[in-house]
Structure formats: structure tokens, C-alpha cells
A and B are shown apart, each in its own frame.
Chain A
């Protein structure tokens, strides 16, 4: 019988990828560009963007995108420890109210309220979630889903911290650029910091907890302590975003605990591809401007996020970033079997 020639598709790392994986010294320009372009291009773009959208409506959109990117990064960080949160609004709201409260009641200046809100808020959230760290999977998610709603209702019914009116006329940022650049640098630092952190020994333990927490426990590691640290880090990022937003709008109200601040970052992370941090950032920077452009639809916006979320899960479950990354590093060809 004549043997038919058969082919199959094969995926191969690009030569330049294999070469640049082990670069420790300066090598050819092409290798350097291959290595640094995907890292520096987004940074450069982010740093230059404020000049292009100066003073307009789109400046607010850019700021908004950064806020959601920070929340998405914080969600992604928790998710990479296996803590799937449905309440990023908790961090955001706590940060916002702490900085707003300190500024409104104690007249603290902006350069004190933001750091205090970031660290204090993170500590507060960690202590709040400490008792439920033993919960896994969907039970943890449910608790995180309820907490922001709880706070919103507490503020409303007890009429504390401004009640339904919120805290008004807080100290603004001096000019437009400081707030914008704090947000952008925050995103960049978190993005690359998290990517670094998760590949270090500390991140190894965190990823281990996600894969199989019992094995990590059997290794003599206190997983609750590590989970608490992870929540503190994620919480600090979320609180930082909340504090920035408060001073940017010079206002804080119950809406900071709204579902938007939970759903949009999650949708962004899922669209971009969870687990890579870059994916979460790309996802939110696509979704937020898109949703602003669709603002005319009114109430349908939230429905649209839902559709995008489902569509992304069905069509590209790996996420945009993983897809792009694969295309960048690998190519396909027919191989003879």
C-alpha cells in the first residue's frame, strides 16, 4: 500500500525568541528590539497619552481607564492566588472613603490622605477578610460580593460619612497632570511589579496555593498568612485607585461601592486573559473607552458588558493577551508526519 504523505500543523518558537530567552549581555539590535519593544511601547504610549487628550472629555476617560486597570490588576493578582473576588468595589470604596473622610473631617492635605488611605485601607480590608480566608472558591466570592453592598447600605441607613449626599468639595489635585500621572505610573508599576512578583519565590508560593493549597500546607507553609499578604497587596492597589478618584472628582459617595467597580475590571481581565496582568490592563483599556463611546445607550451598557464577557469566554477563552503573546513568540507551519 502506498503510504500517503500526511501533514500536521506544528507550532514552533521563533528563533529570535529562543535566542533572546537567555540574553544577559548586549546583543544585536534586532534581538534587543524584539525583547524590549513589547515592554517599552506600552509604557511610552501610556506616558504620552495625557498630552493628546489634554483637558477634554477623553482625559476623564483615560483617567477612568487607569482606575479600572488598577482594579483589574488587583483582581488578577488575587485570582492568581486562587481568591476569585467579586468585590473589587470593596477596596475601591474603602480607599475612597478613608481619603475622603480624612480630608473632609480632619482637613488633612492630599499628600497624606492618599498614602494613608492606600495602606490603612489595605490593612482594614485584610482584617475584614481575614476571617473568611479559609473559605475557598465560590464561598469566598460570595462574601466579597456582599461586603461592598453592605457598606453602601450601612452608609445610607446610618447616615454616616455624608450618608446619601456623600462628602463634597474635597481638596482637588493641583492641575490635571499630577493626578493623571499618579494613575498612569501606578498602573505601570503594578503591571510590571506584579509580573515580577509572581515569578519570584513569593509568587511561586501564591501560584502553588492556587493550584493545590493542601500541597502547600503539607510543605509547612502557612497559607493563610500568604493569602493575607496577597489581599493586602491587592487591597492597597484598589484603595489607591479609590483615593485618587476621590480627589480627582473632589467628591466621594455611595456610588464607589457600586457594582460597576467590580464587574468592569473583571470583564477587562477576562477579555484580556487572566493570569498575565498585561491582559487585564489591555482588557480594561479596551472596554472602558468602548463603554464611554457607548454611553448613549444608557442602561444597555451593563447588558453590553455581559455580552462582551460571554462572547470573549466563548470565542477566545484564553484571552487577547495570551493570543497576541503566542503569535509574537511562535509561528506555525505544516510538518510532515
Chain B
């Protein structure tokens, strides 16, 4: 069974090629079926490998499969190989299962769109690239998947290409991540030059053997890798692309910009965590950056009026939590939050898409209202997703993963408590901004017309994910709530044993209270109409500043875009060419001067010849 591992990325890749070549001929029904079934098969394969794994784990819990030698040169070789360990298995499961559900959702959601088969070709290609990313056993191969998902994200964000703003958003998302990727590429070059290999395991072993903790090389290398990860995961200061990326179809946002691709940075750090352990300063920086991100994004999420933008900022903020866990070395906590976040955020996005679908693609929450009775399925799904995002105690998955992170942060050495406090503040804000959406959209009077109905292909993913968002948290529970450790034990072979460190009883208690407080704030402000009033009155400068994501866009425009465009404008007519045009001008001037001598009179020519001869002879004689 496990020997068919290569089929998992190969299936969606193959179907993507088929759809790309023959999609227009096959028609929408077949295209959708091919796209969904290929990912479905991959999911079935992944689940059976996972089940087999649990019953018969391979030696050291590692399974390697070398497909072929990609590049073999003296002193530098790269094998195209797959590396399956608990971490990548978890990623594969999430990608294929959630990917399959989102494909299924898309077949109904995208119904009647132009380029239906193109959409599935891109989406399958994305799944294949993402699987390659998580399964790669070599950083260079990982980079192939890394850029591959970036391009698919670009193509899918700009899927509705006739709208120029979509194209702009797509380009922005690609270019910002590309900037990060170049740093990552530099990191790869540095690592491969210094350690002689990019094979992840060999590289890590080599790094641990050669470099001492805190020395310069691992710090530089991990910083470079980290920049790549920050870009992909939309963390400060490279986060600006994510809200704009919401221009794509909503299932795309669910799959790429919530569940899978944006967590690639987290995966990268976990995958190379042995290297990061050699660079404690970088880990500290991760933690600080994560706190900044999660607060900035949470504040920004508080004032958005577009439902997808709220979710985009919340994604940023939640990935901030994952990075916070990474910063304190709580790898399983990060992975656990990745898992629960993938489930509930995919659910939230899909539900948002499902709502907008029935409201003639309305995404402004203040244009909605009272949808609870009209769209019961969407209401319950969104409520469950929101509860999970807000980390509502006990009943939601998000609670357990966030608790695991905050517990680990609180137990971390010195700045731990400050970071934890920020995390709690973030948790309050999270609950506030998401329940602001819930109350605005589902309570109050009905404001819009609701049309159509949900088919089974929308209902199944929503229900499945809702169930997931309720139960998946029980894989790992803190002391006092069962002390379940299935999840961290599963990951132990890859990332080491995870200890739930003892913390003061206040810590979990405040973790309990924070979401409830947030929901309370949201409800009070909803009841007294503050949320709704904010849209009708002129927003204050502060609101505008926060709504724009704390001005990063404006700053980058001034810092990079404007100088770049100026440079392009200056250079566009090729100044070097003008220099050569100067030579041409010189020739023309000389020509004008000299042609005055060519008057067509033989006698004049003869005199000149004579004069020339005399001069030559004179020079010869007297020199």
C-alpha cells in the first residue's frame, strides 16, 4: 500500500494534465468529475496509508521513496524523492481530504462558469504541487512544489481574468511571495554550498554536526528560509498579499489561502526544526513577529466589512498563532493548530462562499442580515466554524489547539508571559471579530433576497467539515480534560516528545474566559448598533488605517512600487541605446561635412589628388 505513495501527488497531476489538454472537449460534468475523483482517489490512498501507518508504522516512522535522480553532478546531486513521516503524513491527509471536499464543493459552486475545466485543472495542479511540497525529501524539490503552489495561487486568484483588479491581486500575491522565495532560494544555495547537500535529513544531520548553536551560519540560513516561510504564510512584514488574494473564487480561498498553502511556512519550519534549534535568536524573532502579526491582523479583521477579508485577516492571525508556537519550539502545538485551523477555516470560507452564492455574490456583511432562518445549513456551519475559530471552550476544536499553544507559550522562558498575554488579547479579539460577523449576518432583519438552494455537493462538505470542527480537537486535550495525547504521540518520531508543561492554573482559566469575553463584547456592540453604525458614519483616520492592514500597503507603495515604476519609466527607452545613437549622430555630422567636397567636378578632384600627393611626398622626404 505504502509503495503507492508516489500516486498521491501523481493522481491530481495526471488529471490536471488531462483537464488542461482535453478539458474544453470533455465538458463541465466530466471535467468536474475527473478533477474531484482524482483528488478523491488520492485522499482514499492517503487515508489507507495513514491507517496502515497507525497499525504498522515503518522503521523509525519514516518511509522514503526515491523516484529518480533529478540532478547528479560531482559534488552536487538532487534526488527526486518522497519522504513520509508523521508530519508529512498529517499534511498529506489534510491536503487530500479537505482538498477533495473543496473540489466537491467547487463542482456546484462553479457551476455555469466559463473556464470550468480550466478551474479544475488549476486546482488539481495546486493539489499536486502542494503534495510535492510536503512530501519532498530534498529542499530543492520542496522548492519546486513551493513555487508550484505559488503559481497555482496566482492563476486561481486571477481566475476571473477579465476583471483587471483580479489580475492585480493575483500579481501582487505572486510577486510578494516571490520576493520571499528569492530569500529562500538564497538560503538553499547557502545550505547546499556549506553542507554539500539539500537532502533535508542529510542536511539537518550535517548542520547539527558542523555548526554550533547560535553561530552565524545557521542564523543566516534559517533567517533566509524563514523569510520564504513568512512570505508564503502571509506574516508581517510580507502579509500584504493575502487580503487581496480574496479576489479568487471562494473555494480557492478555502483551499489555498486558508487550509493548505499559507501554512507551508509553518511546515517548512517544522520540517527543518533541527536547523532552527541551532538559531535561537531566529526562534525568538519568529515568536515576536508572530505576536505582531496576530495582533495586527486581528485588529484589521475587526473593521473589515467584506466577509472574505475578515476571514483572510483571521487566517493571517491564526497562522500567527502557529508561528508563535514555532517560536517557543512547540512543534506539535503548531501542527495541531494547523490541523484544526485547516478544518474550521476551510469550513468558514466554504460557508461564506455558500452564503454569497445565494445572495447574488454579495460579500458585504452589512448588506446581509437575518439569514439564520433563511439559510439554516449555512448558519449552523458558520456558527460551528466561528466557535472553533474563537476557541469556544470544550465544544470546539480550535479551543484545544489554541490552548496547547498558549500553554506552551506561557511555560516558555522569560518573555513567555508577555507573549502569552498578547496571545490572550488576540484570542479576545478573534472571538470579537468573528462573532461580529456572525451576529451581523445571521441576526437582525433580513436585508437581501435569497435565491436558489443548496445541492448535495455543497451540503456534504459543509456537514463533514462542521463535524470535523467539533471533534478533531479531542485528539489532544490538556490535563483535566482527559489528558489525551494521541496527536503529539503520533508526531513524536518526527518532532520529539511534547510535554504539556505545568503552568499556573490562571493560564487555562484565562484561556477559557477570553473567547467568552470576546463573544460578549461582540454581542453588546451588536445590540447597541455600534457595528452597523460604523459603516454609516464617516470612519475615523484610525479606522481607515487599521482597515487597510495598518498601512503596510501604502508604505510598500512608497518604498518599492513608486521607485520601481520611476526606474522603469526612466529606463524604458534604453539609455544605453541612446549612447550608441550618439555614434550614429556623429557619423551623420561627419558625412554632412565631408560631402561638401564631392561636387562632381573632375578638375577639382584632380587638384585635391595633386595636393594630397605633394603633401605625402613632402612628408616622406622631410620626415
Please indicate whether A and B come from the same complex rather than being unrelated chains: no
Interface residue ranges, B against A (CB under 8 Å):
none
Interface residue ranges, A against B (CB under 8 Å):
none
